[in-house]
Amino acid sequence: MFGAIVGAITGIASAGISARAAKAQGAASQREAEYNAKLMENKALAIEYATRAESGRLRRSQRRMAATQRAAFAKSKAVISEDTPLEVMLEQMEEMSLEANNFRRNKMIEAQHARSGKEMTLYEGRNAVYLSQQKARATMLSGVLSGVGKIASAYTPTDPAEQFNPLLAEAPFAQIVINPGPGRP
């Protein structure tokens, strides 16, 4: 009997320690997720800053290229305001504009990807906390039920004849007499 009580107490204490460890693990996962989320946000900011700098460099380079082209046309005495030279310059300006826009678009998508990774990391951290709390509750419940079972088993009679058997029990319905009906004994 004393052994069962000690076993129950140690089982419940063990469950409590396990539950506390599960909660601590969830909290650590949450802190890790927050740290990783900050890293991903910093990555997104770095991409945005680099995009602005690179876009400026790209625009300056494109302006220099357009100026070089105008100078080359002027040196060759081509009339830039009409026909083929104008079409070539317009085409090249359009290409440069598309290239700059495509570069900014790709970098914007990259920054958005980093931010969505940040949100996913935060979600995973919150989920880890929730799951660790559920695990802690289940561990505590299991420990308590195990302890109650150990105590209950200490009070259970070991002699099979002393145990309750519902088939052998005398129930109030055993006294009921069934009327077989008229003309039957």
| pLDDT value of position 2 | 67
CB–CB of 70/93 below 8 Å? no
pLDDT band at 132 (very low <50, low <70, confident <90, very high): confident
CB-based contacts of 154, cutoff 8 Å, min separation 6: 1, 3, 4, 5
116, 143, 150, 162, 171 from 174: Cα distances, Å? 72, 42, 35, 21, 6
**Side-chain half-sphere of 87: how many Cα atoms within 13 Å?**
2
**Structure confidence by residue, pLDDT tens digits, 15-70:** 788 888 888 888 888 889 889 999 999 999 999 999 889 888 888 888 888 888 77
Where in the chain are the domains?
A: 2-154
Written as one letter, the residue type at 2 is: F
pLDDT band at 113 (very low <50, low <70, confident <90, very high): very high
**Structure confidence by residue, pLDDT tens digits, 139-158:** 888 888 887 777 777 665 55
Looking at the predicted structure, is the pLDDT value of residue 106 above 80?
A: yes
| pLDDT value of position 155 | 67
Q: Using the 8-state DSSP alphabet, how is residue 79 labeled?
A: -
Determine the Cα–Cα distance for residues 65 and 96; give it in Å rounded to an integer: 10
